Amino acid sequence: MIILAPFSTLVPVGIPLSGTWVTGIGGFPNVHRIIGGRSCFLGSRPYQVALLRNGRIYCGGSLIAPKWVLTAAHCGRRISSLQVHLGDYNLRVNEGTEQIRRIRNFFVHPGYNLRPRDNDFMLLELDAPAQLNNYVNTINLTTSCPSPGTRCSVSGWGTIKSPQSMGCWDVEGRG
């Protein structure tokens, strides 16, 4: 089982900033939450995407191609009302690095089911491609899950203490 935080992306530690792995995305609101961690450095997670509704964080995702975001299937309600924030850090401050997109189309994993949330994946097609730079970049998909005990890094926006700035956590993957 992979531990995920709400609104987060989980990757093995020690990857280049451009990224080589994505092992999971999205949240499990009633299963495991990760609290604590530290503030990420601005620009250290250029693949991290924030999905906002009415200006508030709703879900996270990972930019896997200039027009494609991987997120959780359970984030698929009222897709048309979501804003996709790329290159964001503090959701209430304009850092000048943000690129905002809308969702043109979405594709839920055909094997997704709500309980026990198998295949909780969804692809979002953006209305315009991201402009890749130091703050917005893609991460490659992995071909396998990390082995148990692998140290992983989680990033995203939580809801405790500092909900508006991107946080980073180190966790140990479980099989």
Closer by beta carbon to Ca ion, 45 or else 74: 45
Distance, in Å, from the CA atom of 161 to the CA atom of 78, rounded to the nearest integer, reads 27
Query: Quick one: DSSP state of residue 101?
Result: E
Closer by beta carbon to Ca ion, 83 or else 90: 90
Please identify, among the stretches 52-60, 81-89, 135-143, 152-160, the one whose residues bind Ca ion according to the rule CB under 5 A: 81-89
Nearest approach in angstroms of CB 98 to Ca ion is 5
Closer by beta carbon to Ca ion, 90 or else 150: 90
Please identify, among the stretches 57-65, 85-93, 103-111, 117-125, the one whose residues bind Ca ion according to the rule CB under 5 A: 85-93
Q: Is residue 120 a contact point for Ca ion (CB under 5 A)? A: no
Instruction: Determine the size of the site formed for Ca ion (CB under 5 A).
Output: 4
CB atoms within 10 A of CB 15: 15
> Kind and range of the H or E element at 171?
strand 167-172
Closer by beta carbon to Ca ion, 90 or else 140: 90
Distance, in Å, from the CA atom of 76 to the CA atom of 119, rounded to the nearest integer, reads 13
Nearest approach in angstroms of CB 163 to Ca ion is 13
Nearest approach in angstroms of CB 35 to Ca ion is 22
Q: For residue 147, what are the CA distances in angstroms to 32, 34, 157? A: 19, 20, 26
N residues, the chain? 175
Nearest approach in angstroms of CB 73 to Ca ion is 27
Half-sphere exposure of 142 (CA within 13 A, CB side): 16
Question: Within positions 88 to 117, which residues make up the interface with Ca ion, using CB under 5 A?
Answer: 88, 90, 93, 95
Distance, in Å, from the CA atom of 73 to the CA atom of 42, rounded to the nearest integer, reads 28
Contact 9, 155 (CB under 8 A): yes
Closer by beta carbon to Ca ion, 98 or else 125: 98
Q: Which residues in this chain contact Ca ion in the complex, by CB under 5 A?
A: 88, 90, 93, 95
